[in-house]
Amino acid sequence: MNYRPLLGRKVTLSAVCSRTAAEAQAFATRHEIPRVFTDYRALVASPDVDVVDVCATTNVHHEIAVAAAQAGKHVIVEKPLTGWFGSAGDPRDQMLAGALQNCDAVLEAVSKAGVTLCYAEDFVYAPPLSKLRRLLDASGGAILELRAEESHSGSHADSARRWQTAGGGSFLRMGSHPVGAVLHLKHYEGRVRGGAPIRARSVIADVAQLTRLPGIMARPRYLRAAPEDVEDWAVAVVTFEDGTKATIHSNDTTLGGVRNVVSAYLTSGVVHANITPNTAVVAYAPEARVWGEEYITEKVETTSGWQFPSPEEDWMRGYPQELEDFVDAIHDGRPPLSDASLAREVVEVIYAGYLSAASGRRVELQRP
């Protein structure tokens, strides 16, 4: 994309890149994008591109981000920033070190080039979480505990099934959302109260492949989860530098649609931020065919029974707000609300969690 004004808009989609030329061309035609590439190196070298939005499988996030920064382009990277993409049998301490090395390669390239890294964590921008921040400010209280979750019935993507392309299972692929949310809230609280973010200090976690248990596999099920060598269930407890706590749930074993929820237990109150599902619209149908082709919400197994149709799902999840902040941050030369430091700490916490699950012990994070 670039920043030349077009009919009053702030940005223009100037090019698209995909491994498959036909898919890229179809997308370009649908969205009136003038240039199509099948090699990201050609895209980042294009003089018509100012910002590269990395929407690829996780195993190439860092590679494309580094190339874009070295070409002088600002970078938007979808969650998670990166990971470790070897074998599931690799030692977990090696995974943690390698994932952080990939993170630091991106951060170094961005810093050397003087460009902006925007970390696409939509939970940070979701209206329920924005309201949580405002309520925290208004209360004058402090966060004692955070509880956050993303869960559903499994990914449709083939790349999500194996470590080599996904870098992990439900903890990395989905857990990066609730982990990002709780880290962001403590960063925010620390900056407001003392001028510096409150960071994670230690992690204790457990992971499992529940859908491949011998007693489960032969039974009828509606789950889409099909892990090969990654987990489909994860729980983690994060302890922060000030001693407060956060609990994270992320799994592919939850029916009924996506659960994106964050709860804050404050010294002065309690806030439940329900991104999805929420009760803005509640509908009932005795049969799935009642609603026809009308969209209900993501990943529900059936549209019959009681449902929570989201009237503006993208808005409720924070996607337009996220991109608006990124565009303004790049234009104004400031860090976005969801920034590079959050991106790195999410990866650090999750891979420390993998190490904890494998070793059966609490993992202390490296802090100055």
Does residue 126 sit in the same domain as residue 101?
Answer: no
CA 361 → CA 138, 202, 204, 236, distances in Å?
A: 38, 10, 7, 12
Look at residue 322 and tell me if it is in a domain: no
**Number of neighbouring beta carbons within 10 Å of residue 218:** 7
User: In this structure, is residue 140 part of a structural domain?
Assistant: yes
C-alpha span between 316 and 272 (Å, rounded): 15
Whole-number pLDDT of residue 222: 87
Say whether both 64 and 183 belong to one domain.
no
Q: What is the CATH number of the domain that holds 164?
A: 3.30.360.10
**Overall number of domains in the chain:** 2
Looking at the fold, whether 240 and 358 belong to one and the same domain comes out as yes
> For helices 176-194 and 340-359, what crossing angle results, to 10°?
120
Q: 159 and 69 in one domain?
A: no
- In a domain, residue 295? The reply is no
What is residue 110's predicted lDDT score, i.e. its pLDDT? 98
Asked if 350 and 211 sit in the same domain, the reply is: yes
**Please, are residues 113 and 213 in contact by the beta-carbon 8 Å criterion?**
no
* 237 CB neighbour count, 10 Å cutoff: 16
Please give the Cα distance from 33 to 15 (Å, whole number). Answer: 6
Is 323 within the bounds of a domain? Answer: no
Tell whether 351 and 259 lie within a shared domain.
Answer: yes
Which of 91, 120, 149 is at the close of a domain? 120
Low-confidence ranges of the chain (pLDDT < 50): 3-8
Predicted confidence at residue 278, as pLDDT, reads: 87
Query: Which of 68, 91, 120 finishes a domain?
Result: 120
272 C-beta neighbours (distance < 10 Å), count: 12
In angstroms, the CA 13 to CA 3 distance is 9
- State residue 2's pLDDT score: 52
46 CB-contact burial (10 Å; exposed 0-12 / middle 13-18 / buried 19+): middle
How high is the pLDDT of residue 4? 46
pLDDT, one tens digit per residue, over 278-308 is: 889 999 999 999 999 999 998 899 999 999 9
Any idea what the CATH number is for the domain that residue 27 is in? Answer: 3.40.50.720
* Domain shared by 44 and 180, yes or no: no
77/181 same-domain check: no
Q: Are residues 226 and 359 in the same domain?
A: yes
Q: How far is CA 82 from CA 104, 107, 163, 191, 325, in A?
A: 10, 11, 12, 26, 22
Task: Please indicate, yes or no, whether residues 113 and 249 belong to a single structural domain of this protein.
Answer: no
Starting at the edge strand found earlier in the chain, the sheet holding 74-78 runs 51-54, 74-78, 117-120
Range of the domain at 138: 122-275+340-364
In a domain, 153, yes or no: yes
| Paired strand residues for 202 | 239, 364
**293 assigned to some structural domain:** no
Domain boundary among 59, 85, 120: 120
Asked if residue 4 belongs to a domain, the reply is no
Same domain for 151 and 181? Answer: yes
Q: CA-to-CA distance for 146 and 271, rounded, in angstroms? A: 10
As a whole number of angstroms, the distance between CA 196 and CA 189 comes to 9
Q: Domain check: are 130 and 110 in the same one? A: no
CB 282 within 8 A of CB 148: no
**319: in domain:** no
Task: Convert the chain into a string of H (helix), E (strand) and C (coil).
Answer: CECCCECCECCECCEEECCCHHHHHHHHHHHCCCEEECCHHHHHHCCCCCEEEECCCHHHHHHHHHHHHHCCCEEEEECCCCCCCCCCCCCHHHHHHHHHHHHHHHHHHHHHHCCCEEEECHHHHCHHHHHHHHHHHHHCCCEEEEEEEEECCCCCCHHHHCHHHHCCCHHHHCCHHHHHHHHHHHHHHHHHHHCCCCCEEEEEEEEECHHHCHHHHCCCCCCCCCCCCCCCEEEEEEEECCCCEEEEEEECCCCCCCEEEEEEEECCCEEEEEEECCCCCCEEECCHHHHCCCCCCCCCCCCCEEECCCCCHHHHHCHHHHHHHHHHHHHHCCCCCCCHHHHHHHHHHHHHHHHHHHHCCCEECCCC
